[in-house]
């Protein structure tokens, strides 16, 4: 099923309405869709490297709008829509744990999880369910989603096709290392 979705997304990336599909998929991925929008963004940037920043911007905005939809689902419809989505992905416990983490760590959860392989849809639902304030949620989402998509755009613009495999397979590891460095830096500043 995932291979079929991947092939379908790469086909959509080559279509004349690719930007509209990118917007729809970025929004849906942030609250319900099972496949990362990166799988559509990457071939689109490789096809039109002159539009890399535009595509990363569109993807960021659409993803954050989808994140707000996910936040609303978590805040107002968690029982009827949010938990069925979590249940579909066998992530009921993960959502509940994230909800508790939001109450304890707030914005750090968004900043940290936005750079990790944990699907953003779980972050959005849990933030809403925890009634985490919407404006800080949006600001942190812009930072993390933008960092991810603009980093991909920069790498693809600079190195083209050879970096595709690296991004698809190793970008998460690089982002996790970056997150550890940031957390260590913050901890070090707090100690001094």
pLDDT digits (tens, 9 = 90+) for 107-144: 877 777 766 656 788 889 889 988 999 999 999 999 98
Angle 51-175-69 (CA atoms, 0-180°, nearest 5)? 65
pLDDT at 188: 60
Write down the pTM of the prediction.
0.80
Q: Which residues contact 129 (CB under 8 A, 6 or more apart)?
A: 74, 75, 78, 82, 95, 99
Q: Which residues contact 164 (CB under 8 A, 6 or more apart)?
A: 42, 46, 156
Identify the residue with better confidence: 192 or 17.
17
Of the pLDDT bands very low, low, confident and very high (cuts 50, 70, 90), residue 62 is very high
Flag whether pLDDT at 190 surpasses 60: no
Instruction: Give per-residue pLDDT as tens, 138-181.
Output: 999 999 899 889 988 998 898 887 877 776 676 666 666 666 66
Rounded to whole angstroms, how far apart are CA atoms 123 and 55?
23
């Amino acid at each position: 099923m995932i291979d079929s979705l991947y092939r379908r997304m790469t086909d959509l990336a080559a279509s004349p309405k690719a930007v509209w599909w990118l917007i729809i998929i970025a929004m849906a991925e942030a609250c319900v869709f099972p496949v990362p929008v990166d799988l559509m963004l990457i071939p689109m940037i490789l096809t039109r490297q002159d539009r890399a920043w535009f595509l990363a911007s569109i993807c960021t905005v659409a993803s954050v709008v989808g994140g707000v939809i996910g936040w609303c689902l978590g805040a107002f419809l968690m029982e009827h829509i949010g938990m069925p989505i979590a249940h579909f992905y066998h992530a009921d416990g993960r959502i509940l744990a994230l909800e508790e983490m939001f109450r304890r760590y707030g914005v750090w959860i968004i900043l940290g999880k936005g750079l990790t392989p944990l699907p953003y849809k779980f972050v959005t639902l849990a933030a809403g369910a925890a009634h985490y304030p919407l404006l800080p949620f949006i600001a942190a989402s812009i930072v993390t989603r933008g960092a991810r998509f603009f980093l991909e755009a920069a790498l693809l613009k600079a190195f083209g096709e050879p970096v595709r495999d690296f991004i698809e397979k190793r970008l998460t590891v690089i982002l996790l290392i970056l997150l550890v460095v940031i957390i260590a830096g913050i901890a070090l500043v707090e100690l001094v």
